[in-house]
Every structure is written in C-alpha cells, then in structure tokens.
A = this chain, B = another copy of it.
Amino acid sequence: MFKPLDPLLHSELRLAVVSLLISTEEAEFPYIKEQTGATAGNLSVQIDKLSAAGYIEVEKTFKGKKPCTLCHITPVGLKAFEDYVKALKSYLNVKKT
C-alpha cells in the first residue's frame, strides 16, 4: 500500500539540496545555502550525510584564494531520488474510486 520513504531524502533540507543538485548538476556551498535558506551549520551537516551515503560528491577546491566547496549529484543519488519520488506517489494518489 504505502511504500517506505528513504529517510535520507525525506528531510526538507536534504531533499532541497538533492533537488537543486539534480537541476543544476553542480553547485557551490554558498549558492545552495542561499537557494535553500538554510543556515551554514545545518547545511554542512546535511551535505555530510548525503555525501556519506554516496548521494552527492563534495569537492573542496579553491576559487583564487577562497576555499570553495563544490557539490554534485551522483548516479546513486539520482536513483535514490527517483525511487523516493516513486514511493511518495503511493501517498499522493488518493483518488476516491
């Protein structure tokens, strides 16, 4: 009846991050922060979790002399997102028959 929802994606901020990365392919920390409205601390933690799960990849580079944390989605993350959306639909198709 109801499919289980991947707890890693069933989180407002992490879902926003993954959604954003799917649409942009790659994004810098400050940009993600701005787009999601998250605090830096919260975002940092959630990015770590997504990264630890292999859903995203984090590359720490430099932009001139400034550090620059670049994130992008992985195939695993994309698949997880697609599965999550599929599972979600089992909760949203509530047509009265």
Chain A interface residues toward B at CB < 8 A: 1-2, 4-5, 10, 12, 15-16, 19, 22-23, 25, 35-37, 81, 85, 88, 91-92, 94-97
Contact = CB atoms under 8 A, between A and B. Distances in A.
Q: Main SS of chain A's interface residues?
A: helix
A74 to B, nearest CB: 15
- Say how many copies of this protein the assembly contains: 2
B23 A2 contact: no
Given A19-B91, A23-B96, A94-B19, A4 B10 contact: no
A88 B10 CA distance: 11
Contact of A35 (B1, B92, B94, B97): B1
Q: Which of A10, A35, A94 has the most CB of B within 10 A?
A: A94
